Amino acid sequence: MKQRTLLAAIGLIAAGAIQAAGTHAADAKTESLANTCNACHGMNGVSVGPNMPSIGGLSESYLYAVMQQWKNGERYSATMGRHFKGYSDQELDAIAKYFSQLPWVPVVQNADAKTLARGKEASERCETCHGATGGAPDDADTPRINGQWAEYMHLEMLKYRTDTVKMPHRKMRGNTKKLDEADLEPVARHYAAQPK
């Protein structure tokens, strides 16, 4: 009886070790995939360059949807579409999950008071989805934009205003077109200056 109990306990321990090893292997693969993103988007998805967005701490559903849009050619990008064509849906899901579990670290950028005031005044349309400071989106499919790079956000808005550029979010396209072009950069700088 004791020997049978001992063998059962050893079996349970071995099964647990095998399961843990499998989990560790999956984590190592995800870490490896994430490292390819870190090369451009910064360690832990916190970008250090003005044309590359931070991605750490964005929602899993948003990240997964955007990667799928690039993979399927539904969203314009000079490089991301080619990059994701070789990834499986499971790999995209793992990447989205990985970066969503990291903290959102705003890269707060200063701007002059006049630009910030103009951006805040013009950002009313943006508030309905992203929140007053960009840090409280109204759903998981809307990204945080507080402390996101201003140059990146400005470029994204320009893409949305250009009908020949594939950008799938119709509400964003409509709202950016309703903004005066001269207000795009102030709006981007307003959100880039928000710590939360």
Is 40-196 CATH 1.10.760.10?
yes
What pLDDT sits at residue 35?
A: 86
Alpha-carbon dihedral of residues 72, 75, 81, 84, nearest 10 degrees?
-60
The Cα–Cα gap between 154 and 192 comes to 10
What pLDDT sits at residue 7?
A: 37
- Can you list the residues of the chain whose pLDDT is less than 70? 1-26
Enter the tokens of residue 185: 């950069």
Tell me the domain boundaries of the chain. 40-196
The Cα–Cα gap between 112 and 171 comes to 29
DSSP class of 104: P
Q: pTM for this structure?
A: 0.83
